Structures are given as C-alpha cells and as structure tokens.
Structure 1
C-alpha cells in the first residue's frame, strides 16, 4: 500500500476513534435501561463499530513502518481488540448462546455477517523467533559448516538433475527436427556447396555411463512418399472418376479438401465466439449470472510484498536501536559532566537556602525515598516548617510506634470502606443483571481497554501535534524524542551518583557547624532500599536439559506426533450464515432458530485471536462435536494452517507407545509446544480418553492413557499468554464420563447442513470439478433434495461421480442428478444416509449439558416455565 493512502487512511480512522470516544462518553452518563432489548441494541452497535475499527487499525498497523508511530498504533489495535472481545462476551450473555445475531446493527452500517469476521491471516500471526523457525523449516540451526554444505548440495542436486534432463530432451528435439527437414526437402537442406561435414564419434567402453543422457528416438514416419494424394479426404466414388495422374486434378482435390477443413474450423470458431459474446451480453444485462462461489480475498498483500515489509520493519527497528545507543553514548560524553555539575549546584543552593533561613541544614533525603529527587519536585519541608520542627522534642520510640499504628489503622479503615463500597456496587449490578438490566454506563466506565484507547489518543494529540507525518516518507524516527527519553534516564542514573558525593559534602558541613556551635557531631544514618530477594519457585528438574530443541522436535516428528498439515484456509470450509435467526425472536428477545453451519466459523475465529500477536483472552481447550463427515477435522487443520502452528497429534493411536514412560512424554510435548508456539494439540475422537467402558477392539491402544493427565499436567502448566490450545473432536461425546467436560473449556456443536450451506457446497464442488460444463445446473434442486447430508458426504459424492472418465463424456452425455442419488443409495454398502433426527437430538442434549451458555439458557427457560405454571 502506498504511503499517501496509508496516511489518509490513518487520518480518517483517527476521526472515527474520536467520534467513538464521544459516543462512549455519552453512554457513560445514561441510566441503566430497563429493557433488555435496548441494552442488546447498544452493545450490538458498539460491537459493529469496534469490528470496523479493529479491521482498519490492524491494516494500518501492518502498513506503518515508522517505529514510534507503529508502537502507538499497536497499543490501539490491542486495546480495541480486547474491548471487542468484552463486547462479544456481553452480547453472548444477553443472547445466552455462543452465536449472536445483530442484523439490524449490520443493516444500519450496510454490512453483512461476513464483515464481522475479525481474523486476518497473516496480519494477526504470531512470529516465532528466527532460530526456532529455522528448526521447523530448514533444520539448519545446529549444523556445523560441513553439514550445511552437505545440506545445500542435497538441495541443489535435484535442480542440476532437472537441468541435465531438460538439456537432453532439447538436444533430442533438435536432432528430430533436423532429420525431418532433411527428409522433407533434401535439396534445400543438403546443397553441395553449403553442406557441412559433421563428424559424429561414438565411443563405447564397458561399464561407462554416458556423460549426458540423450533420449534415443526411433523415426517411423516416412515424409517422402512416392504417391502423395488426398484419397482419404474424398469419397470413394469420386476417387474412381478422378484421374490421379493428372497434376491439375490433384491440385483441385487438395484445394477442395483444404477448403472443407477450413470451413469446418471457421464455423466452429465463429459459433464459439458468438456463444461467448451472447453469454457476456446476458451477464452484462443481468439476464444470467455465472453461478460460481466467489470467495473474498482477505489477504491484502502478496507474499513477496509481505516479506519485503517484514524486512523493512526489521531494518528500521535495528536502526532505531542503533540510534538510541548512539544518542546515549553521545549524551554521556557531552552532557553528563555538565548535568552532574548542575545537580551539584542545585543541591548546594538548597543547603545555602536552609542555612540562611534557619541556621541549620535540612535532613538529606534517603535513597529509599528517591534521594534529592524530592528537592526537585518540592516534597521537602519549607524553611518555616523546618524551623518549627527544630523546636519540637524528638518523638520517643513508643510515640513513633503509636503514630505508625494510627496511620496503619486509618489506611486499613479506608481500604475496608472502599471494599464495602465495591461490594455494594457489585451487589447492585448483580441484582440489576438478574432482572435483565445492565448498567451500561458502569461497564463502559470500568473498561480498561477503553481507558487505554482514550489515554493513547490524548498522548498522540499532545506529542504529535507539531509533527508533520506526511513529510516523513522515509519513516525516519523522531530524534528529539529519543534525546529527551535518554536524557531523563541518564538524569536518574547521574543523580544517584551525585547524591553519594553530595552526602559526603553535607556531612562535612554538619560537622563544621557542630564545631562552630560547640555541639557533638553525630552522622545521620542512611536508609538504602532493600534488595528484593528472588522468591522464585524452585524450578523442577529438566529431564531433557542436556538435549537440544531440534533433537526433541525431530524425535516427536519421527514418532508421528508432530504432523505436517496441508495449507487450508477458512474459505475451504464452505458454509452459509443464518440470515433469518434475528427475525425469529420470542417475547424475551431470544432467538428460536438454531445456528447455521457458517456461524461456527465466527466462534472459532474469535478463539484464534488470542493465538496471534496481541494479548487477548482465549480458551485453553476446545472440543468440536458432531456427526461423522461434518467437517471437524477440516476445521482443526484450518486452525493449524491459518496460525502456521505446530500440529501435535495426541490421539490414542499415537500415544499408546509411551505408556511405560508417560512422565517423560508429557515433559517433552510441553517443552516443545512452549518453545515452538503457536502449537495445536489435536485429539481425534477425544471421548475415547474418557470412555465409560472400553470396547475390546480398542484395548490395545490404551485410550485412557492421557485422560487423567489433560487437566492437571497439560492444561494447568499453560499460562494465559502461551499460544497453545488443545483441540479435540468427538462424534460420540455421551460415551465419555464427566472428565471430558472438565478437560475442555469450550464445547462447540457443528450445526447440521441447512439449505444455504448445501447449495453453496454443490455449487462450489461441481464448478471446481467441471468449471466449463457446470455453469447452468439444477443446484437448487440438488441442495433441497439432499439438504440433510453432511458436507463430507457431498464432497465425496461429487469427487466420485465426476470422475475423469465422466467429465470426458459431459459434452455428449449430460449429467443426470440421479447419478448423485445412486452414489448415496446404490454404489455403497451399506447406503449412505443423512444423520438421523434422533442422533442430532442426542447431540443437542449433550451440548446443552456441556456448554456454559446453553446451560444458562436452559435454566432461564425452566424458571420461565415455573413462573408460568404458578400463575395458572
């Protein structure tokens, strides 16, 4: 993106932030709305505004190169995203569901549900350190020079072999062309006076390979026929009447044959051009449209442009660090001596001021109280106060203790009073929330992300008011700010050193004063700040302390625990959003229609935000439940691919080998996961880890091996800022005990296929497999009839039915919709049928007992029914 466009985009976004802050300031003063619908509307409007703001700020952040401005924009992006997640949680609590529907707020901003998708890869990616990334990509970090040369030679070997193969084929092609030309016209290519003698020497030695492999071609075509004719181009009856020996007749036959071929070719070409133009006109006039799923390109920059931007940012960061170091060195050399002299003169003037006014010296501030910094900020006693303190008797130890106890008691009272006020306020808000009323003013006022955004914008308005950003097209740092920051740091360091010297001078002055007054001199005690003792917990013994990260990574990779995941993106999970749920609300404002399959993408993407660059709350573990072929594993692969995460497969088939040394295995996977984060720990059919009863055929793989270790030994050691998440799938969650609900913080049910999703699936799969022949097909009928089938079943059906052989026959033999039905019913044993309604009810029932928001909704509905029955 150009510098001018980025600058204009930043100016317009700044104005929007200002308008958003004004709106929030008005909302802080409103009274809590009594209607739940009003609260939902306010939060929905704010949520949509923050989605747009996060989208714009993240784009600006990744296209801003000036180091100081980039740090400021980063704070805004992180705070706005944190506030966005808080608003989403509020909306979920009001909706009592993982899925929210805010169609009215979207219509007002002219947006669609797709615009609410926050995740932008690679803008939100967490970048690993370079040495760690090298292990994953090249594995060259721990190689010596010889190993690196060998690795490079191996990498170049296939290229050199390919070059040799291309050269061999090219030489063989030239030889074939040369020989064909000679056979076709000897006079032209083999004139006596132009003929050059070419000596070909063929030598052969036993067991000697050819230096360059040449493809030997056997020429079977004869280009010099004695009787050239076009007999096969005309009818036999005509051939009998034609005089073959007549040269003119032969020319006539050839011309007729050539005209016939040309006429057929021109007719075909003309019909094709007319067909294309007709289709173009129909599409232009809106009579017909290309029925192909158009996916929005969310990646704004190409890979090369992104790489160049990353390299430029890295260089600018290095230049900024060098500038700081150079400026600090310069200031220490040029300014520090004068700075020490100024501080000394200021402290001496302070001595003189007190001596002239009181005939004595103010006690020298102790280092524990920041030393003479108190003199600068005027927190020492005035001469009058010091004079009054001299006349007072010094307090005894008992009096000092009594005074300290009194101060502690007052502080304790204030804390208790503040605590009681907070508890009272919390009870008031809880009472309102139980009644369905939310104090919006308090929620916005107490939001730390909003407070941070306001502070950052105030700081920007103050610091950047005299800076013309448009003139800085080279992204140079502002040197004056670096000088000010380093001067402040050097001042703090130098003042501590000057204080030590001036304390000696202070004691000499007090000693001289005591001699003049014939008093006994007693040096004052100096209170230094106590050194904080490291109260770190004793680190557990590292079982693999003598091994490198590369060896541990390779061990897990060789064992099949770390798997390579093919590149997938969210567009490959073809599904449609629910566009009618908002219109089907009951009298309580709750949606009565379940989510569509596309809505789950929103929930998963918001859980991924915490795995990115910014510090955002996220669940430690997610469980995806649903029938077979509903897309659970595909979603897990998409998450790992979009995050560029290390994919660890902890399914029982992979882990049963470590039953004898489970402690070591858990240690290794946690160490590697933390070192190579972001990391996805994947468990296929996670209910097997908590099986109530293990089937006989599964006893060999010891499925319960990791079941007891997930909560305590895998999830508990993970910190909030660790980019690690445990993702499990299950098609029989009811077969597990209650441990599965404790192990997975968030449980999500893959919704069944609706008409919109089914239509998009058939459209996408068929146009992808046969793009030219499937433009006008009965997708709507197929989607309606086969709506209940899962996405995996539809995908397999299209791939099997539209085989290579069938696609070759499409122009002559049109595709019958019954062929898809035959695949489900006839070509498979047993026939493939859609998921049973009873099965989906079973999933919904278990999901209602495992998901926190679903349990809340069930409880609310039960209370509502109880109240209704009492009234009767």
Structure 2
C-alpha cells in the first residue's frame, strides 16, 4: 500500500480517538452509576472502540516511513494501549471475573471477533532486533563452551514390563508367520486360477469384440467415477464446505505485499538515520548562525532587569543612569536582586513576565521554605509514631469509604493515559492534520519542524551559559555599587557529614532491597550482617556478564522456544453474553486466554512507559490440566517481547546453591540480571509444590518449599520501573495452601480444555502443519466431536504420530481417515469431568471467585425480594412458560416441514439447522420432539450426525425449563 493509504488510516484512527476523548472528558464530575449492566456495557463499548483504534495505529506506526509522524503515533499508541489496560482493570473489578464477552457488542457494531483481537506491536522486537541477535549469539557461545548446546530435552519413554515385551514379540512373530502363510496361499490360488483359465480357453479362439467390450466397460466406469468425484468436489467448494485447491497456496499478490512491507521497513530505517543526523547538523548550524544573537539578546534583557530592580519607577528603563545609581537613587527592593539559582530555573524566572517585586517575593518565600524544612527534620521522629497509630484508623476509614462508594454507585477511576492521548491528539491537530505535504513525496523529515524543536534547545543551552556570565557580572556590580559581599546560598540538598569529615550517603542507599539492613549499636558504630556481605559481593565484585554466564551454565537462564502467541490456536466464544443472561457461567475459550496473556504479560513487558503507569501485574498464574499449553504461553511471552527466561522451578533448583545463604545468592543473582537485562520472565513450573500443604515423602529431598518465604519479599522489591514478571504454571493447584498461594499470584488465569470450535480449528491447523491435506482429509467436524475431553497436547501428539514421513508420501493414493487419528488419540487419557470440576471448585475458592459468587448471590437476593413483593408473579411465570412452549412447538413443526421439503439437498438441510440453532437455545423444546427429529434426520443419512448432536445438546436446558414451568 502507498503512503496515502497509511496516512488515511492514521487520520481515521485519530478521528475515532478524538470522538472517544470528547466522550470521556465531556463530563468531568459524573454522577455515580448504580446499574452495573449499563456500566459494563459502557466500559465494554469503550474497550472495543479503543482496540479498533489500536489496530489502525499499530499498522500505521509499523508502515509509515516519515520519522516525525512516527513520534506522534508512538505517543498516541502507548496512550491507547494503557487506556485499554485501565478499562480491562475496571471491568475486572466491576464483574469480579477475568473473562469478559463482547458478542452482543460485536453484533450491534457489525464486527468480527478478529476486530477485538489484541495485536502485538511489532516494534517491541524491531527496535531491539540487533540487541536480541547479539544476546542469542552470546547465549549460544556460552552453551557451546559449557557443552550444553547439543543436549536435547529427554523425551518421555514409557517403561515396559517383561510380560508386555514378550507379548509384543509374540504379536510380531505371529504377524510375520501370517504374512508368509498368506503369501504362500496366494501363490497357490493364482496357480490354480491360471490352470482353470487355461483349461477353459484351450479349445476356443480369442473373441476380440468381447475383449473390446470388457475394456470399454472398465474404462468408461473409471472415467465416469473421476467425473463424479470432480463434480462433487466442485459442489462442495461452491457451497463453502471444502477449501479450493489453491486456498493454502501463497498467492503472487500476497508475496508482493510482503516484499513491499519489507521495502518500507528498509526505507523507514534509512529515513530514521537521516533524521537523527539532521538533528545534530541542524542544531550545530543554529548554534553557529543564531547563537550569538540569542546570547546578546538574553544579556540585554537580564541587564535591563538589573536596572529595573535598582531604579525607581519613574526612571526604569534608562540605561544612562547606571553611573549615578550609588548616590542619587534608592532602589525599589532595597538592594540589587539575588540571581535565581539553576535549580529554581535560573533566568527563566526573570523572563516569566513578572515584576521585580514578585520575583523578590518568590525568592524570599523559597528561602523561608528551606528554613522550615531544616527545622521540621527534628520533628519527623515524633510525627512518625503518631502516624503509625493513626494508620489503623485510616485503614478502617478507607474500608468504610469503599462500602459507602458501593452503596452510592460506580465511578470511573482517574486515568494516567488520558492526558497522554490528549497531548498526542493536540499535537496531531496542531501540526499534521492540515499540513500540506505535496512537496514531500518520499516522506522524509521536515527540516522546518526540526529547526523549531532545536531552536528551543539551543536557546536553553545558551541561557545556561549566559546565566553563569550574568551571575558573575551581578556579583561584580554589587561589589562596585553597593560594596556588598556575595552571600553564601544554601544548597537545597546536602550530604550528611560525619564527625570524621567523611560523606555518609542517605539511609535508603544503605538499606538493601532484599531485607538486608545495617545493625546500629548503642555506641553508634555500624556492623555488617553476613547476608549484606553476600549481596555487597554480588553487587560490587561481580559483573553482569559473569552473573549471566553463571546462570546459563547452571541451567537457570534458558533459551526460550520461538513461539508466537498466534500459534496458540483457539476460537472465540460466541454465546458468552447469551449464557450469562440466563445465569449460566460459560467456560472461557482459548481465544479469551490468548487475550489475557497479551494484556497482562506482553503489552506491559514490551513498553517501559506502559509498565510504569498501567495497573501493575507482578505475578501471573496459569492453571489448567496437563496439555492445555501453559509452557507454550510462557515461551510466547518471551518471544513476543524479547524477554529473558529464568527457570526457578523446584525441580530445576534442587541441589543448587544449598542453604539459606546459597538461596539468597541465587535469588540476588537472578533478579539482578533480570532487572539489568529487562524485560525478563521468571518461570516457576509446578508452582503448587512451592506451596505444598504437606510435602510428599518422595519429594522431601528436593526441598520444593525453598522459595515459599522469599517470594513475597521478592514481589515487594519489584517496582513499577522493573519490567520483570513472575509466571507460575500448575496442573494441580488444589494441592497448594490457598492463602499464601493467592497472596503471591493475584492474577490467576484458568485455562480450560478446548471447546468444540477450538478443537475444529486446532485439527485443521495441526493436520496442515504436519504435512496433511484438508481436501482429502477426514471430516474435521467428526474429529472435533470425537476428541471432546482431550487437550491440545493430545491432539498434537495424535497428529504427529500418524502423519509420519512415510504416511505423508502415501496420502495421494491412500487418504487420511478419522479412524487412524482417533486410534492414536484413544491411547491417551482425556480430561475427565471430575478433574474439571476440581478446577472449578478450586477457582471458586480464590479471592476473585469468592467475590463473584458473593455478587451473584446478592443479585439473586435482590431479584428474590422483588418477586416476593409481586402478588401474582407465579401465575405470570406459569403463563409465560406455557406460551413459550407453544411457540417452540410451532417453530419445531416449521423446521420439520422445511427439512422434509429440502431432503433432496443435504446442504439446504444444514442451512436450515444452522438458522434454527440460536432459536433452539433461546426457546424451550420438549425432549420427545428433539428425539423424534433426531431419529428422522438419522434415517435420512449418517452425514447428519452433527445435526443430531446439536439438537440433543438442548435436552439439559429443556429439562430445566420444563421443571421451571411446572414449579415456577
């Protein structure tokens, strides 16, 4: 695409952002809202619109080559990302749930689920690509030197018993003998057949016509079979039920678009380098050309200020009276003014359009403040004790305020990113919205804008130099005119000086982040603890390179696998809002999990400004059954942000750095390197072992609870400027002690097994990825249905096991069947309902789960009280139920009639069923009717098994609704 296209995309995004900012800032003191559904709808609408703007801005920033435009886009882009995180945090606090569903908003705004997918900004990796490549080289070199490069992770090998081995040998031997016997019998049969044919045709002459007819029959049958297959395939492609042959090929236009994007990136880098060179060159030119004039002008203005402060009002501005100042005139302020310090702004204070009296008053007020501060230092100790007593009272007051706010209603929290977006939006309006760029076809930097920017910097640099000169000139003037001595000015910040004259740094530099303090004795002497000596050694004697090397050699810093977040395949939940409206809590989909990883992990780690101002997430827990992709998401976090990956799993640190001092040294090394080389991800696999209620005997030697006491201290030491994220993964969270577990991991993402839509997408993706073909592959819908209960890991294992190199070569003559894949899948254990219920029960005990359950109970209590106040509510419910059942029966009859009319076309039957799918979920249909229709469809063709499954899924809802009608 051209420059104009991306400029239009940017302009549209800015226009949408401008409308949103007007909506958000038009009412500065909004009234509290009590209706939570309305509040959530408002927040969700804002969220969806901001995500759309995020898409356009990210694409524009990646493809626009003008360096000065990209500065504006970058500021607005980071503001939009931060605002999305703030809105997500507001929705979580409002709904008490990490997962939210926007299917109703998408339907209203006619959008697709792809429009609200959080994009990963490409500049996270592009802007530090050289650094990442250099780091990969260093890591690879360390691994080669340590002899660890060629070591591959051990594959899990199932232990075989002696009886199983004998049985396998017997099966193989019997199969070999059976093949030999079959081959021998085949040879005997063929020999006998040849003898019979020879006896039959011994006395007859060959009939050429009969032979020709036989050949024609076979050939025509073969040709007709091929024609029928081709017609059937064309029909399926036309109906959209099979992809066309060229669907998965890379088209020429797509390859051309990719080449253009790569060329634009090269031009972008070239223009960026030219812009950086121009910044230096234009600044030097301005310093040479305009510097002397600026210096002279500043000096004249400052001298004029000296005279105005000294002369009486009627003679201000007269420069000829300088010689008679001493004897004839009395100055207004009583003396020559004190020159403002550089900390106070220097001559900027003079040029702030204030009278001499105002300037003198400001300087005097600042001196008084400094004196007050020095007096108040002695009183701080007494005040701190009083504050501690009042702290508990304030905590109670805050809780009461929160309770009152909940009663009053909801208010939007103040935003850290709205001012950033407003500033960027104003910058766009003032500079770029109506700027004429007909001359700049190649979209290079604009020199006039550079001059405006650098002129300010040159003026500031010259002002600092002029301040030094004029300070000395004022000193000489005072000595010459007033015979005054220059007073010593108090410095704002002084270092403490000990009795021996040594400079003692402030206390915060001596207190270490990991809880190491200086022990002060009564006599005033200070001694170091052993732990402080350990950290002091690591901090001063060890370099980052040596620590990095030691961690790599120890297996604590590992190389992440190259996995993108988009490789985590999963579909969107299309009925989340609908199910919640009928008080059914839907299980989150894999697309929802992917969104949370992007919001809580990738965006904050990728941007420093975003991490400092957005809601802080220090630790993240990924919980779910084995095989749902928890480790893959950890590696995707590192790949998308270029982060280092540290492995502090209990099994990995077992036997390393023993003892308390060794553990302290280990943690100090890990987090020092993590902070210096940020962003960093600290992964703790099987993190439930760290919080075991009771350690199993088999794992006591491993000491799995080593990190339990240190993790809370580490979290406290992590500040907003530290882009370090602790990620824990667990398959058995219910084995951990819940209270300390949730104290460390305040953000918990429960990853479920894939639903039908996700399995459907996953099977297609895995078959194609492993060399299979969809045109001749088994029915994907059948595989998705039959693999219910299995995780992504099971599906990938089954596909990789079947689609070997030998099997891929046979696909043309022997298409892949569902039986093969299901055979490999059946050899694995699925996620049973009992295990899934254990995860749900555990999550309901977490703080967020308890809060949501409490909110739902309160909401149901309000509805119950409202029903109790209505005298005829039961009668109304019963009448409404009977009316709904009558409507459903009529709709069912219409459906049956349409299927009967469309029985000649299978595609039409599928269309009819799809049209009635949503109606079935909203209206109740009797179980008997569903079974009747299922039997009817089943008789027509076995191809309709998917439709039968869809209808039978409504039985649970029908039974519940039937009970509600009978006993409302």
When normalised by structure 1's length, the TM-score is: 0.71
1:657 paired residue number: 655
8 A contact 1:93–1:853 mirrored in 2: no
Please state whether the residue corresponding to 2:63 is helix, strand or coil.
Answer: coil
Alpha-carbon deviation of 1:857?
A: 0.7
Cα distance in 2 between the residues matched to 1:132 and 1:764? 29
Answering whether residue 430 of structure 2 is matched by residue 437 of structure 1, we say: no
Shifted more, 47-56 versus 426-435: the winner is: 426-435
Cα distance in 1 between the residues matched to 2:651 and 2:471? 73
Answering whether residue 587 of structure 2 is matched by residue 585 of structure 1, we say: no
Please state whether the residue corresponding to 1:615 is helix, strand or coil.
Answer: helix
2:635 paired residue number: 637
Which residues of 2 match residues 499-648 of structure 1 at below 5 A? 499-502=467-470, 521-523=483-485, 525=487, 527=489, 530=492, 535=506, 537-538=509-510, 540-543=535-538, 549-586=544-581, 592-607=585-600, 608-613=602-607, 615-616=609-610, 617=614, 618-648=616-646
Answering whether residue 837 of structure 2 is matched by residue 845 of structure 1, we say: no
Cα distance in 1 between the residues matched to 2:249 and 2:569? 10
Alpha-carbon deviation of 1:11?
A: 2.2
Please state whether the residue corresponding to 1:701 is helix, strand or coil.
Answer: coil
Cα distance in 1 between the residues matched to 2:250 and 2:30? 40
In structure 2, the gaps of 5 or more residues are 146-196, 204-213, 316-328, 376-393, 496-504, 513-534, 869-968
8 A contact 1:366–1:526 mirrored in 2: no
8 A contact 2:767–2:773 mirrored in 1: no
Alpha-carbon deviation of 1:282?
A: 4.3
In structure 1, the gaps of 5 or more residues are 149-234, 242-259, 406-421, 515-520
Cα distance in 2 between the residues matched to 1:709 and 1:426? 29
1:195 paired residue number: none
Cα distance in 2 between the residues matched to 1:651 and 1:265? 67
Partner residue of 1:834 out of 830, 835, 847: 830
Q: Would the alpha carbon gap of residues 321 and 813 (structure 1) be closer, same or farther in structure 2, given more than 3 Å must change?
A: closer
Shifted more, 715-724 versus 495-504: the winner is: 495-504
What is the CA deviation profile of residues 89-117 of structure 1, one whole-angstrom value per residue up to 9, with x for unaligned ones?
Answer: 22222322110112222122222333222
1:456 paired residue number: 424
What is the CA deviation profile of residues 693-718 of structure 1, one whole-angstrom value per residue up to 9, with x for unaligned ones?
Answer: 222332343322333333324x3443
When normalised by structure 2's length, the TM-score is: 0.64
Please state whether the residue corresponding to 2:298 is helix, strand or coil.
Answer: helix
Answering whether residue 353 of structure 2 is matched by residue 378 of structure 1, we say: yes
1:11 paired residue number: 11
Please state whether the residue corresponding to 1:793 is helix, strand or coil.
Answer: helix
8 A contact 2:777–2:815 mirrored in 1: no
Cα distance in 2 between the residues matched to 1:89 and 1:793? 34
8 A contact 1:578–1:595 mirrored in 2: yes
Cα distance in 1 between the residues matched to 2:72 and 2:260? 23
Cα distance in 2 between the residues matched to 1:507 and 1:551? 53
Answering whether residue 104 of structure 2 is matched by residue 104 of structure 1, we say: yes
1:24 paired residue number: 24
Shifted more, 561-570 versus 273-282: the winner is: 273-282
Please state whether the residue corresponding to 1:582 is helix, strand or coil.
Answer: helix
Answering whether residue 343 of structure 2 is matched by residue 343 of structure 1, we say: no
2:88 paired residue number: 88
Cα distance in 2 between the residues matched to 1:710 and 1:328? 50
Cα distance in 2 between the residues matched to 1:263 and 1:551? 81
Q: Would the alpha carbon gap of residues 653 and 84 (structure 1) be closer, same or farther in structure 2, given more than 3 Å must change?
A: same
2:879 paired residue number: none
1:43 paired residue number: 43
Which residues of 2 match residues 360-379 of structure 1 at below 5 A? 360-362=330-332, 363-368=336-341, 369-379=344-354
Please state whether the residue corresponding to 1:726 is helix, strand or coil.
Answer: strand
Partner residue of 1:279 out of 206, 212, 233: 233
8 A contact 1:773–1:810 mirrored in 2: no
Shifted more, 492-501 versus 3-12: the winner is: 492-501
Q: Would the alpha carbon gap of residues 500 and 678 (structure 1) be closer, same or farther in structure 2, given more than 3 Å must change?
A: closer
Answering whether residue 780 of structure 2 is matched by residue 779 of structure 1, we say: yes
Cα distance in 2 between the residues matched to 1:433 and 1:537? 40
Of Structure 1 and Structure 2, which has the larger fraction of its residues in helix?
2
Alpha-carbon deviation of 1:747?
A: 1.5
Cα distance in 2 between the residues matched to 1:124 and 1:707? 33
What is the CA deviation profile of residues 190-222 of structure 1, one whole-angstrom value per residue up to 9, with x for unaligned ones?
Answer: xxxxxxxxxxxxxxxxxxxxxxxxxxxxxxxxx
Cα distance in 2 between the residues matched to 1:508 and 1:675? 49
Q: Would the alpha carbon gap of residues 280 and 615 (structure 1) be closer, same or farther in structure 2, given more than 3 Å must change?
A: farther
Alpha-carbon deviation of 1:657?
A: 2.9
Alpha-carbon deviation of 1:623?
A: 1.5
Cα distance in 1 between the residues matched to 2:371 and 2:509? 35
1:699 paired residue number: 700
Q: Would the alpha carbon gap of residues 306 and 537 (structure 1) be closer, same or farther in structure 2, given more than 3 Å must change?
A: farther
8 A contact 1:126–1:611 mirrored in 2: no
Please state whether the residue corresponding to 1:101 is helix, strand or coil.
Answer: coil
2:750 paired residue number: 749
Query: Paired residues, what number?
Result: 731
Shifted more, 670-679 versus 354-363: the winner is: 354-363
Alpha-carbon deviation of 1:869?
A: 8.9
What is the CA deviation profile of residues 126-162 of structure 1, one whole-angstrom value per residue up to 9, with x for unaligned ones?
Answer: 85484564132366999xxxx99xxxxxxxxxxxxxx
What is the CA deviation profile of residues 315-357 of structure 1, one whole-angstrom value per residue up to 9, with x for unaligned ones?
Answer: 5444334333333333333333333322333344445556362
Alpha-carbon deviation of 1:744?
A: 2.0
Alpha-carbon deviation of 1:583?
A: 0.9
Alpha-carbon deviation of 1:278?
A: 5.7
Alpha-carbon deviation of 1:49?
A: 0.7
8 A contact 1:365–1:374 mirrored in 2: no
Answering whether residue 676 of structure 2 is matched by residue 680 of structure 1, we say: no
Q: Would the alpha carbon gap of residues 781 and 480 (structure 1) be closer, same or farther in structure 2, given more than 3 Å must change?
A: closer
Answering whether residue 822 of structure 2 is matched by residue 860 of structure 1, we say: no
Cα distance in 2 between the residues matched to 1:820 and 1:77? 46
CA-atom RMSD in angstroms:
5.2
1:328 paired residue number: 283
What is the CA deviation profile of residues 762-806 of structure 1, one whole-angstrom value per residue up to 9, with x for unaligned ones?
Answer: 444445557447646443344334412223223333443555666
Cα distance in 1 between the residues matched to 2:80 and 2:629? 32
Which residues of 2 match residues 485-504 of structure 1 at below 5 A? 485-502=453-470
Q: Would the alpha carbon gap of residues 567 and 283 (structure 1) be closer, same or farther in structure 2, given more than 3 Å must change?
A: same
More contact order relative to length (CA 8 Å, sep ≥ 6): 1
Cα distance in 2 between the residues matched to 1:695 and 1:845? 23
Q: Would the alpha carbon gap of residues 732 and 379 (structure 1) be closer, same or farther in structure 2, given more than 3 Å must change?
A: same
Please state whether the residue corresponding to 1:680 is helix, strand or coil.
Answer: strand
Shifted more, 91-100 versus 106-115: the winner is: 106-115
Q: Would the alpha carbon gap of residues 745 and 500 (structure 1) be closer, same or farther in structure 2, given more than 3 Å must change?
A: same
8 A contact 1:35–1:436 mirrored in 2: no
Partner residue of 2:311 out of 338, 355, 378: 355
Q: Would the alpha carbon gap of residues 428 and 64 (structure 1) be closer, same or farther in structure 2, given more than 3 Å must change?
A: farther
Cα distance in 1 between the residues matched to 2:243 and 2:465? 79
What is the CA deviation profile of residues 523-570 of structure 1, one whole-angstrom value per residue up to 9, with x for unaligned ones?
Answer: 463647545657561475242755554554444334333333433233
Q: Would the alpha carbon gap of residues 528 and 745 (structure 1) be closer, same or farther in structure 2, given more than 3 Å must change?
A: same
8 A contact 1:139–1:550 mirrored in 2: no
1:415 paired residue number: none
2:931 paired residue number: none
